[in-house]
Structure 1
Amino acid sequence: MTTTTEKPRYTAVAIALHWLMAVMLVGMVFMGWRMEDMREMALSGDLSFAEVQAYYNWHKTIGISLLVLALARLGWRLTHKVPPLPEGMKPWEVIAARGTHIAFYAVMIAVPVLGWLTASATNFPSYLANNPALELPHLPVPNEAYEPLGSIHGAGGWVIFALLALHVGAALKHHFINRDDVLTRMIPFLKPRV
């Protein structure tokens, strides 16, 4: 009788949330940059404010969806065991891996909350995807906080890309240099090495 030992992998839910949120986060950063261009176009008269507001409302809708998904993902992560880090990792690599993951969770929650705070500091409608029945409550934020909160919210995009570069770089290092199975634990079709 032969037995095969399965390499530890993330759960299907963890994998689905990981990839869904990765695509949504990157898309939201580009959407945010496009919004800045659209606002300038509206101020110069090349685009209607209604079109800009509709785009902003989609950004808010997806942002709140990301916040809900991030909280669900954090809840899943806290209640389900993750595969252990590979043996032989240097202490600084373990700290960097854990720190990057913690930073990702912080950013995935903080950036949408900052967006909500920014939206609360304006007089524009804050409803989701042009549906007034789903209006978000305004948080108690003074209008003067709009610019600084918006700047911090926008800087979150650069933090996301910096963390993404670290995360992807480390995953590729594990796969191609260390030749371990870190990458196979999160990519469903990638088979573990024998």
Structure 2
Amino acid sequence: MTRYSTVAITLHWLMALMIIGNLAGGFLHDFVPREGGQRALVMDFHKSFGLTIIALTLFRLGWRLNHAVPALPNYFTAGERLLAKAAHWGFYAMMLALPLSGWVAADRNDRPLAWFGLPVSKFGVGKATGSAANELHEILGWAMLALLALHIVGIIKHLVMDRDNLMPRMGVGRPDA
């Protein structure tokens, strides 16, 4: 097997777009005007996509555990193998921890929580725990951004320095003949 399944590739790119969009929405929402409900709309989408990311991550994790993945190339060093596996499992952890902490953080205020307009239950942990979860959510947002940057640096390394043919594994480009 030289590439991931179509389902894995689709989930990867769909979630990549959602995560990048949600990071942007989370980091930049303070710059959106409060007037006219624009900031509330941004945050409603941020929360809805966060809840969606939880569901997609659980599906993706189940898919990953039940379907074979392409082996890492033989020329990878032990350090590269370790870093690749740590990054992949780190993404799974972050794709759960980041939105879950945001969900718990919803308890810090009295506003209802919804998924694209449909009501969602809160955890009921109280305002103090919700506030602590919000702090954690912000820290995890920065950690996810750092992990994403590391991932992009790895992609650039493989494209520019190593000039290997790893991108087709994730559905980008054509494999060498």
**1:184 corresponds to:** 168
Shift of 1:193: 2.2
Q: Percent of aligned positions with the same letter in both sequences?
A: 34
Greater C-alpha Rg:
1
Select which of 131, 138, 152 maps to 1:154: 138
The reply to whether residue 92 of structure 1 matches residue 92 of structure 2 is: no
- Structure 1 stretches of 5 or more lacking a match? 1-6
Cα gap change, 1:91 to 1:122, in 2 (>3 Å): same
Picking from 106, 109, 114, the partner of 1:119 is 106
Q: Which amino acid aligns with 2:7?
A: V
Give the CA deviation at 1:76. Answer: 0.8
Q: With the length of structure 2 as denominator, give the TM-score of the two structures.
A: 0.91
The code of the aligned residue for 1:98 comes to: K
Residue identity opposite 2:10 in structure 1: A
The structure 2 residue matched to 1:37, chosen from 31, 35, 50, is: 31
Higher mean alpha-carbon deviation, 100-109 vs 154-163, is at 154-163
Deviates more, 1:115-124 or 1:19-28: 115-124
Q: Report SS of the residue matched to 1:127.
A: strand
Gaps of 5+ in 2: none
Q: 1:65 aligns with which of 52, 57, 64?
A: 52
Give the structure 1 partner of residue 128 of structure 2.
144
* Contact 1:61–1:128 (8 Å) recurs in 2: yes
Once the 2 structures are TM-superposed, how far is the Cα of residue 25 of structure 1 from its aligned partner?
A: 0.4
Taking structure 1 as the reference length, what is the TM-score of the superposition? 0.83
Q: Indicate how the Cα distance of structure 1 residues 176 and 110 shifts in structure 2: closer, same or farther if over 3 A, else same.
A: same
Give, as a single letter, the amino acid of the residue that structure 1 aligns with 2:108. A
Partner SS state of residue 174, structure 2 = coil
Q: Determine if the alignment matches structure 1 residue 170 to structure 2 residue 154.
A: yes
Q: Cα deviation per residue 1:85-142 (whole Å; 9 max; x = unaligned)?
A: 011211111111100001000000111111100012321111233x3xx211110312
